[in-house]
Amino acid sequence: MNGHERDQQSEDDHNTRRPRLLALCLLVPLALLTLSVLLASQSALGSTNLLSNGGFESGTSDWQPSYEYGITFTTSISPVHSGQWAGSLIKTDTSGEIWIRQDVSVVPSATYTLTGWVYMDDANFTQACLRIRWRGTEWLHSVETCLYGQNDFYRPITLGSVIPPSDTVTARIMAVARIGTTGPQEPVYFDDLSFTSDIPPTPTPIAFYVPLVAKNYPSGP
């Protein structure tokens, strides 16, 4: 290969490498921008539900009813707030309080919110409540919020922005129904129970790959 041919080959190699280098320079920032958008989207989702089976789509699993004899805790296809099932709670032979519960690990410095939907359409029930019982080495105080009166539709209920005592380890989440007069005929229904915190979820690592095309170019004869 003479000098002119070598110069021409060098120029051709340079012209070939330049668009590939330019494409690589554009691809790397684009990949980083995509990663940033995905991570921001995950943060915007907020905290996840700390309760298991909060919508009762898996039957009564993960929930424990109160221990009174004669309580009936099951799931129902109607009425529901969303999905196909709701939790149904009733006891006909006494007055007083019945409930379902689930224990969740918590962080004392966090702020928590408990929400749900309640359908209560029997005058023998006086209240439907959401309650949190804090527990450390022993039971600490409880907080709750309640709905009153009967309605033939679901109503939202929220117990929001509560902070556990400093030595709290566990929160007992309870959906409570209070019977004023013995003999209710219609259950109290709970659906879409959710317990969240202000601690953001840990982002799922996202892998991305930048394709690199490597080619050896001859430096000369």
Q: Tens digit of pLDDT for each residue in 77-130?
A: 999 999 999 999 999 888 899 999 999 999 998 999 999 999 999 999 999 999
88 & 189 share domain: yes
pTM for the model stands at 0.72
39 & 78 share domain: no
1 & 102 share domain: no
Q: Tens digit of pLDDT for each residue in 130-139?
A: 999 999 988 8
Give the 3-state DSSP-derived string for the chain, with helices as H, strands as E and coil as C.
CCHHHHHHHHHHHHHHHHHHHHHHHHHHHHHHHHHHHHHHHHHHCCCCCCCCCCCCCCCCCCCEECCCCCCEEEEECCCCCCCCCEEEEECCCCCEEEEEEEEEECCCCCCEEEEEEEEECCCCEEEEEEEEEEECCCEEEEEEEEEECCCCCCEEEEEEEECCCCCCCEEEEEEEEEECCCCCCCCEEEEEEEEEECCCCCCCCCCCCCCCCCCCCCCCC
In a domain, 122, yes or no: yes
- Quote the domain boundaries for residue 69: 64-197
